Structure 1
Amino acid sequence: MRRKIIPYNSKLKEFARKLRNDSTLGEILLWKELNNKQFYGYDFQRQKPLLEFIADFYCNELSLVIEIDGDYHNHEEAFKLDIERVVKLKEWGLNILRFTENEVRKDMTNVLRGIEGYILDYQKND
């Protein structure tokens, strides 16, 4: 499978590094499950610059972005930005799964089931 190259704003690289160092508990917990190709053998990256955004988690092979939404996503302005992000990422053929910080912290089993469901559908349709 040919690797899809998605452009990004190079000015985001340093900020992405900072976000990796200042991860939320939910991001840390999910990363422990996705790191080192241990989830179905897929390579996930965290805090990955894509276009003008930084995705919490990204898997090129699956064309998948996973976002962990904190409380700030409940505000109208953040909600509008999230919609804009989804539209632009979908234009590049990416799919987005969203989970709340609370879901990841308190119900990791169902979060992983959601990701697993995406992977199984992807494999079936590939």
Structure 2
Amino acid sequence: MKEILTYINGVSIHSNFVENLPYNPLLKALLKEKRKAGILGEVLFWKKVRARTFHNIDFDRQRIIGNYVVDFYVKTLGLIIEIDGSSYDEKQIYDGIRQEYLEALGLLVFGISDFDVRNNIDVVMKDLEYFIIEYFGTTPSSKIP
């Protein structure tokens, strides 16, 4: 069984570290630009998760994976958190291809809207808890004797 990373609502959360992810060093300049941009939804989400303040889980902000820069990455879970802004509608095909690529690497993507982060951050954080429990959790009653 995989290592227990943390507990959320009494449910043990198991690590799902994905090794040897591709990295494109040519995206470093874009990464720095995105960090400096200070998009409100990303800043608000970062304040909720930085320094292991969300269930002692370590989040990286703006991480290069392959030819993409993801908003947030939890290395120990192989989990990407993407905050989609208002331009989302025009990017659906691109985002679908991107998500398919990331999932093919063994990663999971949790997408949320910038609007929800700005207006319903507590609901977003609960939704993230439920997502993590669903995909990485083991309840005590579900253990095999």
Whether these two folds match at TM > 0.5 is yes
User: Once the 2 structures are TM-superposed, how far is the Cα of residue 3 of structure 1 from its aligned partner?
Assistant: 5.9
Aligned residue type for 1:17: K
Show CA shifts across 1:77-122 (max 9, x none): x111100011000011111111111000000011101111122231
Task: Identify which of 73, 87, 103 aligns with 1:90.
Answer: 103
**Alignment TM-score, normalising by the size of structure 1:** 0.91
Unaligned ranges ≥5, structure 2: 4-16, 140-145
Aligned residue type for 1:114: D
User: Once the 2 structures are TM-superposed, how far is the Cα of residue 15 of structure 1 from its aligned partner?
Assistant: 1.0
Unaligned ranges ≥5, structure 1: none
Return the alpha-carbon distance in structure 2 between the equivalents of residues 5 and 29 of structure 1. Answer: 30
Return the alpha-carbon distance in structure 2 between the equivalents of residues 93 and 36 of structure 1. Answer: 25
Task: Identify which of 46, 68, 83 aligns with 2:61.
Answer: 46
Find the counterpart in structure 2 of residue 123 from structure 1. 137
The number of equivalent residue pairs is 123
Q: By percentage of residues, which structure has more helix?
A: 1
Report if the CA contact (8 A) 2:18-2:106 is conserved: no
The DSSP-based 3-state class of the residue aligned with 1:11 is: helix
Percent of aligned positions that are identical: 30
User: Once the 2 structures are TM-superposed, how far is the Cα of residue 37 of structure 1 from its aligned partner?
Assistant: 0.9
Name segments (4+ residues, structure 1) moved above 3 Å.
none
Q: By percentage of residues, which structure has more strand?
A: 2
Return the alpha-carbon distance in structure 2 between the equivalents of residues 5 and 44 of structure 1. Answer: 18
1:36-115 matched pairs, under 5 angstroms = 36-75=51-90, 78-115=91-128
Report if the CA contact (8 A) 1:45-1:57 is conserved: yes
**Alignment TM-score, normalising by the size of structure 2:** 0.80
